[in-house]
Chain A
Amino acid sequence: MAAPSRAHARHPTDDPLWAKVVVIGLVLAFLGLVLILPLAAVFAEALRKGLGPAIAAVSTPDAWAAIKLTLITAGIAVPFNAVFGLCAAWAIAKHDFPGKPLLITLIDLPFSVSPVVAGLIYVLVFGLQGWFGERLIDHDIKIIFAIPGIVLATIFVTFPFIARELIPLMQEQGVSEEEAAVSMGASGLYTFWRVTAPNVRWGLLYGVLLCNARAMGEFGAVSVVSGHIRGLTNTMPLHVEILYNEYDFVSAFAVAALLCLLAIVTLVLKSALEIAQPDVKRGGGH
């Protein structure tokens, strides 16, 4: 908003300068305390004894195993949810059927469930005392306290991210382009690849970005199903917890700093996407 040329020429919907200064000051002080300070503290604590110990902490075999497991988990959960999101958005946005609002609410459900409960439900289904517990033991399949459980819990907590980004985007784009393609003889798959996909790719990327950040950072749900076996079932956030609880603060914060870098990269890419493709932001704020 352009500054008024004279003090008295203030536009009626513009606030007085002192009010702006007070509001911006309050906001910066609040955000500084709540957001910037915690971010800065992670790097300060990680580098408390210099760069050497921090780098050593993230290159131990256990840290590497945690990084690898985190990448594997996100590498499965994110594509899974992307395919699901595309299917759900295609069915919901391009077709009419009764019960649509209910279906969308059910897809959103994991956002309202505590991560701890998200972990618990898979323990109840696949754990030793669970529905399939004995049958899984008979076949020597381990889901809880093993990687499949971690992947499942991660899929659950990130389930709505991509779908809720794509559904409103595809709905606003309507069906006329796809109908035109189909009426000229294009197959469904061809229509999707040549007509729909180019229209939604940035929205998809935006959803993938947010989904990935949550998948790599998930703690509560994964904590319940992981069993915390070092070098085997520890993801990066769980590794941070173990180091912190062992009072190995420099190492804990060094691994945490890696996760901070992931968060910062996510935010930078997200902002860049929002500036380059303003359409992507309509998915809502999760």
Chain B
Amino acid sequence: MLDDDHPMTAETIPAAARPSGIKGPRRPLFRRRSAIPGFGLTLGVTLTVLSLIVLIPLSAVAIKASSLSPSQFLAAAFSERAVAAYRLTFGAAFVAAVINGVFGVLTTWALVRYEFPGKAVVNALVDLPFALPTAVAGISLATLYAPNGWVGQYLTPLGIKAAYNPVGVTIALIFIGLPFVVRTLEPVMRDLSADVEEAAASLGAGRFATIGRIILPALGPAWLTGFALAFARGVGEYGSVIFIAGNMPYKSEIAPLLIIIQLEQFEYANAAAIALVMLAVSFLMLLVINAIQAWSRRFV
């Protein structure tokens, strides 16, 4: 697909499929000095504010956690209760991201490829989880899925309990994660070249073979990115989850809640130890997402 006259640059990759990092064409590292003033001032403000608001306070977690001895740290960060909380948090975030991965592809496909009445409203609604305060989503979902709620009353006779247990946590994380998958896939799906599809069809491929062999593989990196973003957001989520979770130790207690419980008992170092584990996972996810992006830039 590539020829030398039209090298693929970062420019041709849709914005949302790119990492937040490099955008636009890469320039040589040391170009001639820019004629535009204000570099020192704006970079200075940027670095100062970034350090004061983000970097230095974040380092407090590591510094506080390091006040514990290694055995104390392990006892705080990997106690039975904490491990149960991680298992629930990561497990529910994973299941929710998988479900969003499936319905996210369908939703994006419908929004990009089909016309139907109310499409503009549906398109705007997809961003609702970005705009709706998480606590509002939390109390609403808890009320809907409680045994006597609008949805819960139909699940109870079926023997399904969807609130105050891990299922409830997953439901809340599905709500929170959906737009990450859709908004990451959307620009990539929009930019899929119709030529390739037409070529596949003209070579005799059925519509489903074309979708399975041409379209879905091309969406792979963006899908993985959306999945990872939804998962990462789900792992840290608090507001929408605690109302529907039930918050039973060992059973339905998420890791962020455990941090708050430690704080309320003035166990600051223990709280920092759990937070450090969560931060480590966040950074790992960030690396994974950046790696997917670098990989997709090479193969798109």
A109 located at the interface, meaning its Cβ lies under 8 Å from any Cβ of chain B in the complex? yes
Chain B residue contacts of A1, Cβ below 8 A: 113-115
Expressed in whole angstroms, the Cα–Cα distance for A260 and B58 within the complex equals: 32
B235 located at the interface, meaning its Cβ lies under 8 Å from any Cβ of chain A in the complex? yes
B39 located at the interface, meaning its Cβ lies under 8 Å from any Cβ of chain A in the complex? yes
Chain B residue contacts of A240, Cβ below 8 A: 133, 135-136, 139
- Beta-carbon contact of A219 and B35 below 8 Å: no
- Beta-carbon contact of A120 and B20 below 8 Å: no
Residues 225 to 283 of chain B near chain A (Cβ within 8 Å): 232, 235-239, 243, 255-257, 259-260, 263, 266, 268, 271-272, 275, 278-279, 282-283
Known interface pairs A38-B175, A96-B31, A114-B278; A27-B133 also in contact (CB < 8 Å)? no
- Beta-carbon contact of B36 and A94 below 8 Å: yes
Chain A residue contacts of B239, Cβ below 8 A: 115, 219-220, 223, 237
Expressed in whole angstroms, the Cα–Cα distance for A100 and B130 within the complex equals: 27
- Beta-carbon contact of B139 and A256 below 8 Å: yes
Least CB distance from B126 to A in Å reads 7
Residues 14 to 31 of chain A near chain B (Cβ within 8 Å): 15-16, 19-20, 23-24, 26-28, 30-31
Specify the chain B residue showing the minimal Cβ separation from A113. Answer: B282
A187 located at the interface, meaning its Cβ lies under 8 Å from any Cβ of chain B in the complex? yes
Chain B residue contacts of A92, Cβ below 8 A: 46
- Beta-carbon contact of B268 and A182 below 8 Å: no
- Beta-carbon contact of A106 and B50 below 8 Å: yes
- Beta-carbon contact of B15 and A37 below 8 Å: no
A213 located at the interface, meaning its Cβ lies under 8 Å from any Cβ of chain B in the complex? yes
Least CB distance from B232 to A in Å reads 6
A35 located at the interface, meaning its Cβ lies under 8 Å from any Cβ of chain B in the complex? yes
Contact of A213 among B46, B130, B140 (CB under 8 A): B130
Specify the chain A residue showing the minimal Cβ separation from B215. Answer: A13
Expressed in whole angstroms, the Cα–Cα distance for A113 and B281 within the complex equals: 10
Chain B residue contacts of A217, Cβ below 8 A: 131-136
- Beta-carbon contact of B61 and A121 below 8 Å: yes
Contact of B45 among A87, A175, A264, A271 (CB under 8 A): A87
Q: Mark A166-208, 1 if CB is under 8 A from B, else 0.
A: 0110011001001100110001110110000000000000000
Specify the chain B residue showing the minimal Cβ separation from A127. Answer: B268
Expressed in whole angstroms, the Cα–Cα distance for A110 and B113 within the complex equals: 34
Contact of B42 among A28, A90, A178, A238 (CB under 8 A): A90
Chain B residue contacts of A135, Cβ below 8 A: none
Contact of B135 among A37, A88, A219 (CB under 8 A): A219
Chain B residue contacts of A109, Cβ below 8 A: 54, 58, 286
Chain B residue contacts of A94, Cβ below 8 A: 34, 36, 38-39
Chain B residue contacts of A114, Cβ below 8 A: 235-238, 255-256, 259, 275, 278, 282
Residue from the set A125, A156, A179 with the largest chain B CB neighbour count within 10 Å: A125
A108 located at the interface, meaning its Cβ lies under 8 Å from any Cβ of chain B in the complex? yes
- Beta-carbon contact of B57 and A267 below 8 Å: no
A55 located at the interface, meaning its Cβ lies under 8 Å from any Cβ of chain B in the complex? no
Residues 111 to 166 of chain B near chain A (Cβ within 8 Å): 113-116, 120, 122-141, 143-144, 150-151
Chain B's interface: helix, strand, loop or mixed, by majority? Answer: helix
Contact of A285 among B30, B106, B180, B285 (CB under 8 A): B180
- Beta-carbon contact of B282 and A112 below 8 Å: yes
A268 located at the interface, meaning its Cβ lies under 8 Å from any Cβ of chain B in the complex? yes
Contact of A33 among B110, B151, B237, B282 (CB under 8 A): B151
B179 located at the interface, meaning its Cβ lies under 8 Å from any Cβ of chain A in the complex? yes
A129 located at the interface, meaning its Cβ lies under 8 Å from any Cβ of chain B in the complex? yes
Least CB distance from A167 to B in Å reads 7
Give me 10 other A-B pairs in contact (C-beta within 8 A), A84-B46, A96-B30 excluded.
A105-B21, A105-B290, A121-B57, A125-B57, A125-B60, A156-B57, A168-B24, A188-B37, A224-B260, A267-B128
Between-chain CB contacts (< 8 Å), 15 pairs: A1-B115, A13-B198, A34-B178, A37-B144, A39-B140, A87-B45, A91-B39, A94-B38, A95-B43, A105-B286, A116-B236, A116-B260, A120-B275, A188-B36, A256-B136
Closest 5 pairs between A and B when the two form their complex, measured CB to CB:
A285-B183, A217-B133, A114-B236, A12-B201, A219-B239
Q: Spell out B's residues near A (CB within 8 Å).
A: 15-16, 19-24, 27, 29-31, 34-39, 41-43, 45-47, 49-50, 53-58, 60-61, 63-64, 103, 106-107, 109-110, 113-116, 120, 122-141, 143-144, 150-151, 174-175, 178-180, 182-184, 186, 194, 197-198, 201-202, 207, 232, 235-239, 243, 255-257, 259-260, 263, 266, 268, 271-272, 275, 278-279, 282-283, 285-286, 290
Q: Spell out A's residues near B (CB within 8 Å).
A: 1, 12-13, 15-16, 19-20, 23-24, 26-28, 30-31, 33-39, 41-42, 45, 84, 87-88, 90-92, 94-98, 100-101, 103-110, 112-117, 120-125, 127, 129-131, 152, 155-156, 159-160, 164, 167-168, 171-172, 175, 178-179, 182-183, 187-189, 191-192, 210, 213-214, 216-220, 223-224, 236-238, 240-241, 244, 249, 252-253, 256, 259-260, 262-264, 266-268, 270-271, 282-286
